[in-house]
Amino acid sequence: QVHLVESGGGLVQAGDSLRLSCAASGRTWAGYAVGWFRQAPGKEREFVTAISWSGATTNSADSVKGRFTIARDNARNTVYLQMNSLKPEDTAVYYCAARYTSAEGAPKRAYDYWGQGTQVTVSS
């Protein structure tokens, strides 16, 4: 079992930046890819970005490319989501998720473990 806790959400203005953190505990973190997803009110949850276990591979949705950066510190069992140039349409609850991968990869789906989410609100 992998336990995930997100932090760093808040209320910001358009154009501002935020950094979200996803801290993992429980069984070994080794071999787990981590993804960030978000869900806005009245909308389905959508993929934002993901990073492989080694950190060498990332995958991002077109809507956040060039603005959001994912990184991980395996020594600290933590994955970060740096969000720059935030827009009102980025407003959502952001979730991190983890899944074991036998190969290098940053998948967009089929995650097994999820955090409770952190709210990000961007005002115009």
Radius of gyration of the chain (CA): 13
CB contact set of 37 (below 8 Å; sequence gap of 6+)? 45, 46, 47, 48, 94, 95, 96, 97, 111
Q: Read off the pLDDT of residues 66-122 as tens digits, 9 standing for 90 and up.
A: 999 999 999 999 999 999 999 999 999 999 999 998 778 899 999 999 999 999 999
Q: Residue 119 corresponds to which amino acid? A: Q
Question: Counting every residue, how long is the chain?
Answer: 124
Asked whether the beta carbons of 30 and 52 are under 8 A apart, the reply is no
Note the pLDDT of residue 28: 75
Q: What is the pLDDT of residue 50?
A: 97
Instruction: Please give the structure tokens belonging to residue 100.
Output: 């074991």
Q: Does the structure show a pLDDT above 90 at 54?
A: yes
What is the average pLDDT across 38-66?
A: 96
